[in-house]
Structure 1
């Protein structure tokens, strides 16, 4: 109903106590101030000022609108300041999403560095599957997402750009007392008699099933365990082995060892996804993620 400029004019006239002095402050003509105040009073349903012999004074209606005008203008000023620091990459919220194993060390390491370089930026972190994260980028709920092409490729999403971050090798986790724990890179055929721990459900093809088929066998047994902590517990108990991304290496307990596999297809590509017009802080985080990705530690 009330324009911001009209509210600013109301405040200026109230502060100055005079249309003439308010006109000087705002670089208006006195007649322009009078006309705009008259329009504002029409919108307000009645007079806002008492006209005195020398100047003007807010009446009860004017004092009421003046109080609200101060609140509105203050909020707008704060919004302008927040937007300025947001677009400069020096403050505001940055919504970041990532898949589970990227949140073990890759993303936290980059966010720690971002906190040091841009302490005014407040990060809101979340976790999800790649398809969900990509859709959240489209919806504007995320400013940056770390995603991967596993298990079914990277979704093509309009309005989202992706940059390859690193290749993530899949290794096999074994208990330390396993007969192959001290070996070098393993051929999957060396593990043909093992039970395998997987989190995927249903009949969806998996990277493990495809790799085993290339090696000429099918997994003897598949145990469905959703969470990484559960998988590690089962491996430590000698109840199976599991494929573990190198990104998750830091979370592997000391009771287990990771060994590389000779099949070059047992890897995934990790990407950073951004909206078409990324925030400066998101672009800086992309650079920090590249530095954090670096070479994965050897098996």
Structure 2
């Protein structure tokens, strides 16, 4: 009972709309037609409105009745979610799963895992953020994300429990017309230092922290897509996961640079982690998603082609 309103009255109202008549609604609900009519009449009397126009051969929704029908559907949908959350809590399912990812995470296996999660837990609310570099780690730190799929540079902090998922191969690239490509030979540090490097920085860092820097001619980006735009425009060179630029290399829009200096290319891979707060263990759905991601990324080859 909600004041003078009952959920049963709302269910009857929706049943009449879906079935098309009082008698059909009665059959659907396993009740006699008179019981359905009485429930509707009680609803109208209690709310002081006319839900059905009974002047014709069949009762039809009045304008206010049609509006109340829409509200009834919303209420019953919310009740269904309420019951699903309560049922999930009884078996250890979290009320909601908050997931954040960094931009370097390969898309295809993540999408497959999220589809599978929806199939396994269809009533689970999932909140999802695609963050700039370092964003997922910050959300894990402030507790707004329960599971992060991200870089943890230079190493996982002690506040997080982290699971290595995969390593992404990094390549140094520039456009065919870039001065570094035009040299036509393996590149040395002095060559790279003379050119603008496009680097990703952590947003909101006061010192503009960046990794893999060569020289001082730096253009800093927090957005992966924007950096790619500048790269394709020939405004600099950068190191990037191979799977993100493979289509451009194949199409001749970018060229992989040969850099023998191991001190420059020593970080030639990026480790992708799944992580959660050490003091915030994953619930049932979070643990399921973590296990699924680990399985998919362990059995899948390191992406070297477009997702």
Using the alignment, how far apart are the partners of 1:295 and 1:173 within structure 2?
A: 22
Residue 165 (structure 1) aligns with: 165
Using the alignment, how far apart are the partners of 1:188 and 1:289 within structure 2?
A: 38
Residues 196, 242 of structure 1: 8 Å contact kept: yes
Deviations 1:242-268 (A, max 9, x none): 221346457869533556865232333
* 1:96 CA drift (Å): 0.7
TM-score, reference length from structure 2: 0.54
Deviations 1:191-248 (A, max 9, x none): 4443211232764553322xx4xxxxx25x2223332222222222221112213464
- Does 2:133 match 1:132? no
Using the alignment, how far apart are the partners of 1:121 and 1:142 within structure 2?
A: 15
Task: State the secondary structure of the residue aligned to 2:282.
Answer: coil
Using the alignment, how far apart are the partners of 1:153 and 1:199 within structure 2?
A: 17
The equivalences for 1:175-186 within 5 A come to 175-176=175-176, 180=181
The equivalences for 1:121-270 within 5 A come to 121-128=124-131, 129-136=135-142, 139=143, 141-150=144-153, 152-157=154-159, 160-176=160-176, 180=181, 191-200=192-201, 203-204=207-208, 206-209=210-213, 212=214, 218-219=215-216, 221-246=217-242, 248-249=244-245, 255-257=253-255, 263-270=265-272
Using the alignment, how far apart are the partners of 1:267 and 1:194 within structure 2?
A: 23
Residues 197, 241 of structure 1: 8 Å contact kept: yes
* 1:163 CA drift (Å): 1.4
Using the alignment, how far apart are the partners of 2:237 and 2:130 within structure 1?
A: 25
Using the alignment, how far apart are the partners of 1:194 and 1:118 within structure 2?
A: 51
Deviations 1:52-85 (A, max 9, x none): xxxxxxxxxxxxxxxxxxxxxxx99975642333
Using the alignment, how far apart are the partners of 1:135 and 1:298 within structure 2?
A: 31
Superposed CA RMSD in Å reads 4.4
The equivalences for 1:3-82 within 5 A come to 79=82, 81-82=84-85
Deviations 1:166-202 (A, max 9, x none): 2233322322555749x99977666444321123276
Structure 1, unpaired ranges of 5+: 1-74, 213-217
Count residues in correspondence: 217
Residues 170, 241 of structure 2: 8 Å contact kept: yes
Identify which of 287, 301, 304 aligns with 1:283. 287
Using the alignment, how far apart are the partners of 1:228 and 1:207 within structure 2?
A: 14
Structure 2, unpaired ranges of 5+: 1-77
Q: Give 1 or 2 for the bigger CA radius of gyration.
A: 1
